[in-house]
Amino acid sequence: MSDSPRAPGRSFVLRYYDRRREVLTAIPHDADPTRLYEQLAAAALPDVAHCLVVADADGRVVFARCVLAHEHGAESCLATVAADLDLAHEVKESLMKDLTSTRVAQGAASRVLVAPLVVEEQAAGAVVFARRTEEPDWSAQDHGTIHDVVTALGVDLERLRLRFESRQALRASQRVASQLHQLISASLVVGTLTDESDIALNLVRSARSLFDGDRAAVVVHHASESVVATVQRGRIPRLIDATLADATRVPSARPEASDPWVHDGWLCAPVLDGHDRARGLVATHRDGEASFTAEDYELAMLLARLAATSLDALDLNRTISDNETRLRILVDAAPVSIVESDDNGRVRWWNQSASRLLRWPDYAVDVVDAVRWPADVEAALVGLWNDLLAGGLRDNEELRAEVGGRERLLALSAAVVPTGTQRPNILTLLDDVTDQRELREEVRHAHRMELRGQVASSVAHDFNNLITLILGYAELLSRNVAGDEKSEELVRDIQATSSRASTLTAQLQSIGRTSAPAPVSLDVGAALGANAEVLERIMGSVNTVVWELAESTPPVKVDADLFEQMILNLSINARDAMPEGGTLTFTSGLRELDEEQAGELGLRAGPFVTLRIADTGTGMDEATRQRCFEPLFTTKGPFKGTGLGLASARRLVLDSGGVITCSSTLGEGTAFTIWLPAQVESDRSAPATDVPVVSERPRIPATILLCEDDAALRRLARQVLARHGFEVLECVSAEDALETRERFGARIDMLVTDVVLPEMDGPELARRLQGEQPDLVVVVMSGTASPDAVAGLRQNSASFLAKPFKPSALVDEVIGLLSRRTVVEPQEAAGSKR
């Protein structure tokens, strides 16, 4: 290279301006000033100087270029200048003196021009231009040009730095925007996911890319398992088995941590549940020194919270979906038919009950358009819907309609379901109440029967009183006509007829009795014998009744009235089963059942009294036979049978520790067998049959208070008792009785009272009197009350006499009680006499 004439002029400035433009317009990847120094050197060498040095404010060389660099290298050229001049000194001199002017320093081999470099109004250093001494000296124009160019360099350095910084700021804001975008995208995606694995797989992508990590991991604890997802840069996220070695590359959790932490290059954030317990971990790993910033911590926490929120939402969705499933199953299984339709009645959905009732297919989306309301039903529903949609209230309606080929009675109701649009849907409920209504009719019938029974019972009460009178007077009459054979026979006829009437009223009464069973020792044969007459009458003339009763059977413990009613019911059933007439056979016996036989019948081993009642009627088919003991089950149709007879028979027998079985053959007949445990000797008491009339009775002097509101009956009782030597005080009510006793003053031994009295009843009166006089004995008479009426009275001091009774029965009862009583004499503190 030859020395060129030093004629820099304006061309140096233009050259520099031209060259620096490219530096200043390129994307600023850094703020390195060297690129500008390069442009300055390229513009300056070799025309302006042979060597260019940039020094910092302390005079240290930061850049140097020489024309001869390719021959000797920049260092050697710079070394030449440096050997000649103390550059640092010259730079400092220049900066100390005047920042606006250039200065020249002369060395042995070089002559340098030093231009202060001012950046942002601060002395940043200086640019040194060197010429060899043999070259032309620095002219005034050189001073001016170089001053302009170095000033421009200072401004350009500032611009370069500002451009870089603003670009950095732009990148940073883009990065933040991008991270926010990632977080929001992640939350949008994760919010739609329906299982923990998908959530973990999506979060792990975000965790890696959000922090530009080389890998990431997400751990989610779910039930008793852990889902672990990992990803490496450039790879697809995957789930790994939490128990395998792969998992050792996942950072371990810190159960107590609630803030993010950094360990071994991992930034970890705990995923906390609603109680701040760790339910997982979001972690990102960066290689090398790249450390995590405070912003990264915040983002990690946001991501962990996103994970927690999505997992919570997932739990919630599961709960909701479980509830929905439960409700759907419930609605589907509901016995009521439920149909959802639009406001025009077009069917949208229905439950299984509706499928059955309306004979529709099971609900499915593709059959919705195929189903139609039955015409009858729709006609009735349109009115209901319209009222409902108009805001009116409608009570449940009933509709008798042809549904699925059968006439059914339907209870209809409907409700509006808001849909969020102008047109709501309608839920229609159809309850098939046909069976229920029939059942209700049956129950109503049963109630009617019971009411009738009660009426019959009360009528029977009055009849009993009358029959008692007839019997009483007939007995009195028989003594008056003693010896007149003709009259005696007539009286016996009266007595026999009255007895029969008495039996009938007893039956009538038992129909309405609803009191609790009162088991007594009962001789089955005797009980049947006592009712034989009634039974035969019930069976009518077309039927034959055959009695095959064992000579004697041990007593059984059973409510006597209910037992009779049961026999009556079974007989009526038999009669109804034999419209053409037939034979009803009563067979009693005693059977000893061993363990096995008893087990088959559901009984305990032991002796059983059996009673078999067999007809020769139509019989039952198997289905009917199996159901015949069910309450309200009847084959007789409404208004004929109550369906209660066999059910109450079964209840009675079971309550009595026995069993009733049934065998039947269609066309041949039906037989019921009743098994009742035979009572062992120890718990037997006297059978409830008539006490034999004792002709010779002891005479016991006693005063009897007789309380009976029926005048005729009272008179009869007085006459009978007086005839046996008792002193009788008559009264018509409890008040009257109390007064009479007061008036009488002397000791009263016995009270004979009716149960039903005006105001205070008989038992109450008896209790009152016994309270004052404990040894008072009481006979309570009643046609309707049960023997329980004497329950409240002192033991062994009272007895119950059912109306109607023969006068002799009253006398026997009175004498029996008086002879057994315990008299408390005033002079004895306590004691007993028999």
Partner 1 sequence: MTNDSSTDLAVDLADALAGEEFYLVYQPEIDLHSGGFAGVEALIRWRHPTRGVVSPAEFVPLLEASGDIVEVGRWALETACYQGAEWHAKGYRFPVSVNTSLQQLHRSAFVGEVERALRASRLEASHLTLEFSHRALGDPETLTTLTTLHGRGVRLAIDNFSPGHPDFSELAAVPVDIVKLDRDFVTANTESPAGASVIHQLVHDARALALRVIASGVEDATQRDHLRDEQVDVGQGFHFARPFEAQEIDRFLQDYALFSGRPL
Question: Which spans of this chain sit near partner 1 (rule: CB under 8 A)?
Answer: 27, 167, 170-171, 174-175, 177-178, 181-182, 185-186, 189, 202, 205-206, 209, 212, 233-237
Are the CB atoms for 525 and 549 separated by under 8 Å?
A: yes
Are the CB atoms for 342 and 421 separated by under 8 Å?
A: no
Q: What count of other Cβ atoms lies within 10 Å of the Cβ of residue 676? A: 25
Q: How far is the CB of 189 from partner 1 (least distance, A)?
A: 6
The Cα–Cα gap between 480 and 655 comes to: 50
Identity (one letter) of the amino acid at 211?
Answer: F
Sign of CA dihedral 487, 490, 495, 496: positive
Nearer to partner 1, 165 or 212 (CB): 212
Nearer to partner 1, 284 or 585 (CB): 284
Nearer to partner 1, 154 or 237 (CB): 237
Q: How far is the CB of 242 from partner 1 (least distance, A)?
A: 21
Nearer to partner 1, 177 or 694 (CB): 177
Q: Phi then psi for 33, rounded to 5 degrees?
A: -75, -15
CB-side neighbour CA atoms (13 Å) of 231: 23
Nearer to partner 1, 176 or 415 (CB): 176
Q: How far is the CB of 208 from partner 1 (least distance, A)?
A: 8
Q: How far is the CB of 27 from partner 1 (least distance, A)?
A: 5
Nearer to partner 1, 171 or 346 (CB): 171
Q: How far is the CB of 160 from partner 1 (least distance, A)?
A: 16
Q: How far is the CB of 228 from partner 1 (least distance, A)?
A: 18
Nearer to partner 1, 233 or 263 (CB): 233
Q: How far is the CB of 171 from partner 1 (least distance, A)?
A: 5
Nearer to partner 1, 106 or 174 (CB): 174
Are the CB atoms for 87 and 59 separated by under 8 Å?
A: yes
The Cα–Cα gap between 334 and 36 comes to: 87
The Cα–Cα gap between 258 and 269 comes to: 8
The Cα–Cα gap between 631 and 643 comes to: 6
Q: How far is the CB of 29 from partner 1 (least distance, A)?
A: 8
Nearer to partner 1, 205 or 650 (CB): 205
Q: How far is the CB of 174 from partner 1 (least distance, A)?
A: 6
Q: What count of other Cβ atoms lies within 10 Å of the Cβ of residue 236? A: 8
Q: Which residue has the tokens 């919570």?
A: 312
Q: How far is the CB of 16 from partner 1 (least distance, A)?
A: 23
Distances in Å between the Cα of 516 and the Cα atoms of 559, 567, 632, 728 are: 9, 18, 20, 35
The Cα–Cα gap between 113 and 130 comes to: 6
SS3 assignment for 445-486: HHHHHHHHHHHHHHHHHHHHHHHHHHHHHHHHHHHHCCCCHH
Q: Give the pair of three-digit tokens for residue 56.
A: 């910092």
Q: How far is the CB of 88 from partner 1 (least distance, A)?
A: 39
Nearer to partner 1, 288 or 698 (CB): 288
The Cα–Cα gap between 94 and 126 comes to: 8
Nearer to partner 1, 174 or 396 (CB): 174
For the chain, what is the largest distance between any 2 Cα atoms, rounded to a whole number of angstroms?
195
Cα end-to-end span (Å), the chain: 166
Q: Which residue has the tokens 């959802």?
A: 340
The Cα–Cα gap between 240 and 194 comes to: 19
